[in-house]
Amino acid sequence: MEVVDDDRVITTKRAQVRQILERRIREELHAGDALESERELVGQLGVSRVTIRQAIADLVEAGLLEKTQGKGTFVTGPRINSRLHLMSFSREMRARGLKPRTQVLSAAEEPASEEVAERLRIAPGGQVVRLERLRTADGTPMAHEVGWYPSALFPGLLQHNLAAVYDLMVERYGLDATHGEQSVSAEAADMDSARILGIARRAPLLVQERLTFADQTPVEFSLSRYRADRYRIHSTLLPRAQARAEDAAEHPTMGS
């Protein structure tokens, strides 16, 4: 199938190739399928390898393809839409029809750093459990999480299964995660995150910083790095009047 010039639809060969490949991805291929090699695509589409490479790079940037060094280029799975709410990773994935899995990478008790102590409202150097986990959905790495939990609130935490901490909080310690404060930022993957998540160094990540409370007591401070090609944040924007009313309810002014 050769690319043809058609000013009514597309003006550049790169865009033509991108559209052809995108249609093939959406209509013919499935998540995990391999895309043809650059040489095969050159023969099929009658354009230069540079054009093929540029079009593939565009689709990688769009999250439709991913390149695996030494193996080839593959169709990605759909991105997970996450609302900004307090829900465990496992429950969120199951709600979307995906099979979650949690791998505990490390778990140990240690003195809290100044930042962790401040967030958890404990004395600097106070004991916390540091828990590092890899989260996957249908076998695909999704997030690298590090969380800190006050040892005073969770004695013997390391003796339990740490795959589902929120459930453990309720069942073993009688503490229910009622609400949280969360911020989301972006960063490029360093070597450690790239290795753990199976992505290229400097690939985009969504970084979620969360402080979780049981009533007014901080019970968890966590940093989670999500693959930006597999995860996106969804939020609902309130009408201004409703937003002002909710903000006033959360931050009442002092009467005279």
- Is residue 6, in this structure, part of any structural domain at all? no
**pLDDT recorded at residue 167:** 87
In sequence order, the 6+-apart residues with CB closer than 8 A to the CB of 218 are: 119, 120, 121, 150, 211, 212
64 & 176 share domain: no
156 & 217 share domain: yes
63 & 167 share domain: no
111 & 209 share domain: yes
Residue 256 has pLDDT above 50, yes or no: no
pLDDT cut 70: percent of the chain above it: 77
Pick from 200, 194, 197: which is nearest to 69 by CA?
200
Single residue among 57, 75, 93 that ends a domain in this structure? 75
Tens-place pLDDT, residues 137-172: 888 898 999 999 999 999 999 999 998 898 899 999
Q: What is the CATH number of the domain that holds 35?
A: 1.10.10.10
91 & 170 share domain: yes
- Is residue 106, in this structure, part of any structural domain at all? yes
Strand 179-188, strand 204-214: pairing: antiparallel
- Is residue 103, in this structure, part of any structural domain at all? yes
Residue 253 has pLDDT above 80, yes or no: no
Q: How many domains does the chain have?
A: 2
68 & 129 share domain: no
- Is residue 252, in this structure, part of any structural domain at all? no
Cα→Cα distances 202→4, 80, 205, Å: 36, 21, 9
64 & 91 share domain: no
Single residue among 30, 57, 75 that ends a domain in this structure? 75
AA letter at 180: G
- Is residue 57, in this structure, part of any structural domain at all? yes
Q: How confident is the model at residue 188 (pLDDT cuts 50, 70, 90)?
A: very high
**pLDDT recorded at residue 120:** 98
**pLDDT recorded at residue 101:** 87
Q: What is the CATH number of the domain that holds 120?
A: 3.40.1410.10
Residue 122 has pLDDT above 70, yes or no: yes
152 & 46 share domain: no
**pLDDT recorded at residue 1:** 45
Tens-place pLDDT, residues 3-18: 434 333 334 788 889 8
145 & 25 share domain: no
In sequence order, the 6+-apart residues with CB closer than 8 A to the CB of 44 are: 1, 36
Q: How confident is the model at residue 213 (pLDDT cuts 50, 70, 90)?
A: very high
112 & 188 share domain: yes
- Is residue 240, in this structure, part of any structural domain at all? no
Cβ atoms 140, 77 nearer than 8 A: yes
Tens-place pLDDT, residues 105-118: 999 999 999 999 99
91 & 37 share domain: no
**pLDDT recorded at residue 182:** 87
Rounded-to-integer distance, Cα 85 and Cα 63, Å: 24
Tens-place pLDDT, residues 231-241: 766 666 657 55
Q: Mean pLDDT of all residues in the chain?
A: 81
**pLDDT recorded at residue 60:** 81
- As a whole number, mean pLDDT of residues 40-66 equals 86
| Widest Cα–Cα separation across the chain | 79
Q: Look up the domain containing 46 and give its range.
A: 13-75
Tens-place pLDDT, residues 68-118: 777 889 887 655 554 444 455 666 666 657 788 899 999 999 999 999 999
- Is residue 222, in this structure, part of any structural domain at all? yes
- Is residue 2, in this structure, part of any structural domain at all? no
Single residue among 26, 55, 75 that ends a domain in this structure? 75
**pLDDT recorded at residue 78:** 58
**pLDDT recorded at residue 84:** 47
Q: How many CB atoms lie within 10 A of CB 251?
A: 7
162 & 216 share domain: yes
Pick from 64, 63, 40: which is nearest to 52 by CA?
40
